[in-house]
Structure 1
Amino acid sequence: MNDTAAGSMYERIGGAATIERVVESFYRNMNLMPQAQTIRAMHGDGLTGMKIALKKYLTEWTGGPGVYSSEKGHPPHMRERHATFPIDNYARDIWMDCMDQALEEHITDEGVRAQLRENVKTLADQMRNTK
């Protein structure tokens, strides 16, 4: 993700506190949206580990401290980590709906939110592995 003169995306969204809120809302949305139950099931019963991993990933991916790759490896290997799950356009779209709602709720700067959303959408597109 690109840094700008205004700082990294991590700094522009409000750092760790905002990522914490976005991830919590994202998984809450996944739990509450009936159409998200298929992708929610892919995450297993307990979400604690998934939340921690996503928080670390988003932290590093947005330009914050390198807290993800030291444990899980370089972030571009995300597609490989998701290969065992059938991710089609519908799953990608529902995942994005959950994330869009979380971003809308916690990132107040519309321009920053739009940029982050486009970056996240590109990442979600890359996870697709079936039609």
Structure 2
Amino acid sequence: MPTTMTTTNIPVYGEGDGTLQAVGGLTGLQILVETFYRIMGNTPEFRPLFDMHPNNLELTIDKLVSFLSGWMGGEKLFSKKYGPISLPQAHAHLIVTDKEKAMWLNCMAAALDELGYPNDLKAYLLPKLEFPAERIRQVSAAKHS
């Protein structure tokens, strides 16, 4: 199917850095992550999740931005800054149940909503984020059972 001029510049989620570009590149990703943690800290239903984090969120925000940059097809900033990552092991000290997993995903959905991202991006991104979130939950369950 030939592409027209109007569709050639639209990022395709999951292809190359299309997802990262769809959130506005690194600048948009930084705003998304900052919004995510602000909502987490200011919303009673997400506050238990916020309280699992260090008091100074600067490093936490940078680590999530760095991870998501590579995860969304952009530069693998996390490994450059912090070395290799195993998300489940990085979170293994925390007790993460289905409740915390759902809180995290719902908080990210709230941040995407607040920033006005299109529904098709949210419909793509949230199920994709569920995979690492579920892996973190599984490792936590195995360690804390």
TM-score range, shorter chain: 0.7 to 0.9
Does the 8 Å CA contact 2:41/2:47 hold for their aligned counterparts?
yes
Q: Determine the C-alpha separation between the residues in 1 that align with 2:64 and 2:133.
A: 13
Runs of 4+ in 1 over 6 A off after TM superposition: none
How far off its partner does 1:26 sit? Answer: 0.5
Equivalent residue for 1:118?
127
State the AA in 2 paired with 1:38: P
2:70 corresponding residue in structure 1: 60
Q: Judging changes above 3 Å, is the alpha-carbon distance between structure 1 residues 85 and 66 closer, same or farther for their aligned structure 2 residues?
A: same
Q: Mean alpha-carbon deviation: is it higher for 32-41 or for 17-26?
A: 32-41
In structure 1, list runs of 5 or more residues that go unmatched. Answer: none
TM-score, scaled relative to structure 2: 0.79
Q: By percentage of residues, which structure has more helix?
A: 1
Question: Distance between the aligned counterparts of 1:19 and 1:63, measured in 2?
Answer: 12
**Residue from 22, 25, 30 that aligns with 2:35:** 25
TM-score w.r.t. structure 1 length? 0.86
Does the residue aligned with 1:20 lie in a helix, a strand or coil? helix
- The alignment of Structure 1 onto Structure 2 pairs a total of residues equal to 128
- Measure the CA separation in 2 of the matches of 1:3 and 1:30: 29
Alignment partners' CA distance in 2, 1:39 and 1:120: 16
- Tell me which of 15, 34, 46 is aligned to 1:3: 15
Question: Is residue 97 from structure 1 mapped to residue 83 from structure 2 by the alignment?
Answer: no
Q: 1:20 to 1:54 in 2, by over 3 A?
A: same
2:95 aligns with 86
| Separation in structure 2 between the aligned mates of residue 45 and residue 2 of structure 1, nearest angstrom | 33
Structure of larger gyration radius: 2
RMSD of aligned residue pairs (Cα, Å):
1.9
5+ long unaligned stretches in structure 2: 1-12
| Cα shift at 1:12 | 2.6
> Once the 2 structures are TM-superposed, how far is the Cα of residue 29 of structure 1 from its aligned partner?
1.0
Q: What percent of counterpart residues are identical? A: 24
